[in-house]
């Protein structure tokens, strides 16, 4: 492909920018050559790491461009497009016409390879959305947000100002668009005062019971005594004027 040929052309050693920080030019060159070798062997993850080390040591246009190419090959168009756009904004220095055309080609391919998640959040105010553990992005006033993502599976978290959150998951193909509707849980109802039974101590219940038992016993005793000392009012056997009889 055309952009690969341009990548190889840009990968040739370039003169250092006068204003570019380069604390370790020898280390940067060594990492750069290692990255090129790993890329040719299709060890793309290792090549990316080597390009990142080289770019950290020396900010160079060819290094940043080749890193964007590798990111595209790894299926990470979002990062590849961002890297190419830093070249177009002149962050690493002015581009010549060929370099600018190559960086623009990366942006076009990256935008075409990205997927889009159309998020709609129901309920809640001041809602923000984070994807795959990244930074939160506020949704629009109508509760919607379009997210450009790499192809594959993604985890989306919506959270409002009150701390309520909802999690959703979806998968998007390269260049495709999917919709994801999330509904935040309703606000918690204020807690009502529930009836709490009074716990009475067992000792108190025992004392009350003892008092009741004693009172009942005294009452029964008085009744029995009264019945033993009072005349029996029975019409047959209890008449006081009758003599005692024996069998």
Considering the entire predicted model, what is its pTM? 0.66
pLDDT tens per residue, range 33-49: 999 999 999 999 999 99
pLDDT of 215 = 57
> How large is the average pLDDT for residues 85-113?
95
Residue 15 has pLDDT above 50, yes or no: no
Question: Phi/psi of residue 112, each to 5°?
Answer: -70, -25
**147 Cβ contact list (under 8 Å, min separation 6):** 116, 117, 119, 129, 131, 137, 156
pLDDT of 163 = 87
pLDDT of 23 = 78
Asked if 69 contacts 49 with a C-beta cutoff of 8 angstroms, the reply is no
* CB count in 10 Å sphere of residue 64: 20
Domains of the chain (ranges plus CATH)? 2-113 (1.25.40), 115-183 (2.60.40.1120)
Higher pLDDT, 79 or 162: 79
> How large is the average pLDDT for residues 73-101?
95
């Amino acid at each position: 492909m055309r952009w690969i040929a341009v990548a190889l052309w840009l990968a040739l050693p370039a003169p250092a920018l006068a204003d570019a920080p380069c604390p370790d030019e020898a280390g940067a060159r060594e990492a750069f050559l290692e990255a090129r070798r790993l890329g040719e062997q299709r060890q793309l993850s290792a090549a990316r790491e080597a390009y990142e080390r080289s770019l950290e040591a020396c900010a160079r246009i060819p290094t940043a461009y080749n890193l964007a190419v590798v990111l595209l090959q790894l299926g990470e168009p979002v990062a590849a497009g961002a890297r190419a756009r830093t070249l177009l904004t002149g962050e690493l220095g002015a581009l010549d016409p060929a370099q600018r055309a190559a960086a623009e080609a990366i942006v076009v391919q990256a935008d075409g390879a990205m997927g889009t998640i159309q998020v709609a959040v129901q309920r809640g105010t001041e809602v923000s959305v984070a994807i795959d553990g990244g930074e939160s992005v506020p949704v629009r006033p109508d509760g919607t947000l379009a997210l450009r993502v790499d192809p594959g599976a993604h985890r989306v978290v919506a959270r409002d100002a009150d701390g309520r959150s909802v999690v959703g998951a979806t998968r998007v193909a390269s260049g495709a668009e999917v919709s994801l509707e999330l509904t935040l849980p309703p606000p918690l109802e204020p807690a009502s005062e529930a009836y709490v039974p009074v716990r009475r101590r067992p000792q108190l219940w025992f004392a009350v019971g003892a008092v009741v038992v004693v009172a009942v016993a005294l009452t029964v005793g008085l009744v029995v005594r009264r019945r033993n000392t009072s005349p029996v009012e029975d019409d047959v056997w209890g008449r006081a004027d009758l003599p005692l009889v024996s069998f």
